[in-house]
Structure 1
Amino acid sequence: MSQTPESKSGEEAPLIFVVGARGVPDVEGGAEKNAEMLFPLVVASGNYRVTLVGLADNIKSEEFKGVRLMKAPRSNFLKTDKILYYVTAIFMAMRLRPRIVHFQGLGSAIFLWAYKLMGAKTVVRYGSADYLVGKWGTLGKLGFLLAEFQLRFADAVISVTPALAERLARRGIKGNVHVIANAADPLPPVEPSAEQPVGDYILTVGRVTAQKNVANLIRGYELFAKDVANPPKLVVAGGLDETDYVEGLQPLLTERTVLAGKFTRSAMAPLYRGSKIYINASLHEGSSNAVLEAIGAGCSILLSDIPENRDFGMPLQNYFDPNSPESIAEALKRALSDPQAYVADAGRYLTWTKVAERTLDIYRGIAPFHGSEIERPDALVSAS
């Protein structure tokens, strides 16, 4: 176990309690990638301790890079695996008495009021307007809307894109909102033993869901492929646990379309680097970690024309209408004709060290650690 941060006078550093990431490391999902990269840097700053509670089957050790890990049970209720997890986390927090509770997504903030009653400061990462996702029924959407309403009472809200911050502002939530995007981190070196992809392919990464718009992506790809001799395959790398949606895709699939399933994050580097084009066709999105990983890998990028993706600031040629298979087909055709013109400069985007510094500024503003020296930039850099 790593040493607990404390001040020169022996004061123990304030505890940050993280709820809403299913687990770390190498767990699929944007909240999970953000947690894996951010919170070890928060610990490395020396100003705060961090405890993260995740789903039991995703937590394989007691600690990850200085972050204490705790397990909560999984349930299957109202189309989510997190209700029992959220309730269990409340009782854990009652015992631990954290100074700050950091919610990694909108859904986890449904019980924000309970943590406020404990006297904790609250920070919510707002990564997507989840109630817009088609799979949620009436109760699920009401739950997300209740969580969003409570954001006005949070001590800080971290919106991952300006577009999402504008959505909150239209709902009267703006005085406590900060915009901190995810980072375009360079991919790790490919392990010599890693399986290398074979042949030409177009890549998309993410859970196979209606939100990711995989059905229209396949339709658009097939429109493109039918007029091309030896077209690159379409590889969809992501979890297949939304079984009803996956079954609905079966009539659309051909030998050119590969539902490759879920990969560990560490195994993704060769997939990104080997792709002809990286395409994100999402209908609703935040600051997509997969897009940023593709940018970091030097991929040619195509994005759905939604406000959150427009915040990446790419040229108009990189965008397409996600509701139009014809627009998707045309985008693939033009990108493959000049792939280099669709490569984005990774240097324009944040690093995880910068994300951590900005997040620490928020923590210091709501719960300063008076007993320690504040600046630890060298520690942040060495831990990143």
Structure 2
Amino acid sequence: MSRKSETSGDRRPAQADALTLTGRQAARVAKRRRVMMLGLRGIPNVQGGVEKHVEMLSSRLTGHGWEVEVVGRRRYLPVSGPHLWNGVRVSPLWAPRMMALEAIIHTFLGICFAAMRRPDVLHIHAVGPALLVPLARLMRLNVVVTHHGYDYDRQKWGAFAKKMLRTGERMGMRLAHGRIAISREIAETMGERYRVPVAFVPNGVAVSHCDVETGVLGEFGLTRRRYILLAARLVPEKRQIDLIKAYAKLGNTGFNLVLAGGAEFESAYEDEVRALASRVPGVVLTGFQTGDRLAELFANAALFVLPSSHEGMPIALLEAMAHGLPVLASDIVANRQLDLPAGDYFPLGDIDALASAISEKTATSLDEQEVLAQTERVESAYSWSSVALKTLDVYRAVTK
């Protein structure tokens, strides 16, 4: 470039800014890559496993020099306009308040938005939003898809919705430039089913240690180490009803049963959970909890139970283990992937077996060495820093 062109008055502002940097700084700016996350309700502190995954991953990607933008659904976010959170740009977009259409319409709008923003990578999360990967490819975007679980197995969906979710899986696996699965079983199954390479990048875990009392225990009349906890959305596949029925079989044990979680949409299942809980003494519904309040519930529980029929990779179960809690989980494939001791599993849907397992678990507690060993194992095996590095390997492969 000639000296005249460098000093001309019509140069763009970005070029002017670059001229104030040293050569090394300008090189770093030029190399800075951008990724846009799509397919979730939003961050931070939005209920859901995908939301937690993106929240933890995105904040770590910024530490590796990437610019991260998360496109969320406006009604779940506290700020209606674009804003920064922990160095991550959060861009709210409108979506209809309709369970069957919210995700797909928001994804369509998000891909159009990405076509204008032109990120180096468009990272689509979950198989439902992956239905629109062909549109993203048509708009010449580099697409990575993360498979978070077999969403077509969820009880809430009808036949047509399940067919669309299966189609989304097929579109995502066949047409994305890069593919990630959060469990080894999903990665192997997708590789065999679609004859494509799928990177295994598990969920991570980060324990939020609550240094202050939030008052959440007193608010719900709970006593430290005298309650059983489940933290999950009120949806059929989490099977809160199984847990309430098993708890009811135990009679008066001196333990409460705490169900922390809410529902995004009114449903017959939510009504059934609330009605049953109201008839069983000792059941406490806290609604959706997050931050220090949720951390305090985890830290003071006697036992964590996950009776679900469907999981991708259970973040809440990992968090409970990282807090050093004894755990019980249904014996589904996703939970079995964590390789817990045999006594930590019970047969899915077996109310009597679950009640018996709860009774045994609450009769004893882990000693200090067992707690320490469990916490260290989880934190070393499921580090979000490791998740970020493995995700970046996929990004680099599709942006060569």
TM-score if structure 2 supplies the norm length? 0.84
Identity, in percent, stands at: 27
Which amino acid counterpart does residue 50 of structure 1 have in structure 2?
V
Change (3 A) 1:303 1:9: closer
Task: Tell me how large the CA RMSD over aligned residues is.
Answer: 2.3
Shift of 1:311: 0.8
Secondary structure of the corresponding residue to residue 204 of structure 1? strand
Change (3 A) 1:231 1:322: farther
Which amino acid counterpart does residue 58 of structure 1 have in structure 2?
Y
Shift of 1:12: 5.3
Secondary structure of the corresponding residue to residue 278 of structure 1? strand
Which amino acid counterpart does residue 107 of structure 2 have in structure 1?
Y
> Residue 36 of structure 2 aligns with which residue?
17
Alignment of 1:1-384 (within 5 A): 8=27, 10-11=29-30, 13-46=32-65, 48-61=66-79, 62-77=83-98, 79-150=100-171, 151-173=173-195, 175-196=196-217, 198-199=222-223, 200-223=226-249, 225-226=250-251, 229-240=252-263, 241-253=265-277, 254-340=280-366, 345-348=374-377, 349-368=381-400
Q: Tell me the distance in 1 between the aligned counterparts of 2:333 and 2:205.
A: 19
Shift of 1:193: 4.2
Q: Tell me the distance in 2 between the aligned counterparts of 1:138 and 1:221.
A: 33
User: What does the per-residue CA deviation read over 1:331-356, in whole Å, with 9 as the maximum and x for residues that have no partner?
Assistant: 11121122317857133322111111
Change (3 A) 1:239 1:7: farther
Long gaps (5+) in structure 2: 1-16, 19-23
Secondary structure of the corresponding residue to residue 339 of structure 1? coil
Change (3 A) 1:356 1:243: same
Q: Tell me the distance in 2 between the aligned counterparts of 1:28 and 1:100.
A: 25
Q: Tell me the distance in 1 between the aligned counterparts of 2:376 and 2:142.
A: 34
Contact 2:151/2:165, CA 8 A, preserved across alignment: yes
Shift of 1:195: 3.0
Shift of 1:209: 0.9
Contact 1:152/1:176, CA 8 A, preserved across alignment: no
Change (3 A) 1:7 1:281: farther
Change (3 A) 1:320 1:13: same
Q: Tell me the distance in 2 between the aligned counterparts of 1:80 and 1:297.
A: 37
> Residue 3 of structure 2 aligns with which residue?
none
Shift of 1:163: 2.1
Contact 1:7/1:13, CA 8 A, preserved across alignment: no
Change (3 A) 1:23 1:321: same
Shift of 1:153: 1.9
Larger radius of gyration: 2
Contact 1:160/1:286, CA 8 A, preserved across alignment: yes
Secondary structure of the corresponding residue to residue 235 of structure 1? strand
Q: Which moves more between the two structures, 288-297 or 74-83?
A: 74-83
Secondary structure of the corresponding residue to residue 162 of structure 2? helix
Shift of 1:117: 1.4
Long gaps (5+) in structure 1: 369-384
Higher helix share: 2
Higher relative contact order (CA 8 A, sep 6+): 1
The count of corresponding residues between Structure 1 and Structure 2 is 361
Contact 1:22/1:55, CA 8 A, preserved across alignment: yes
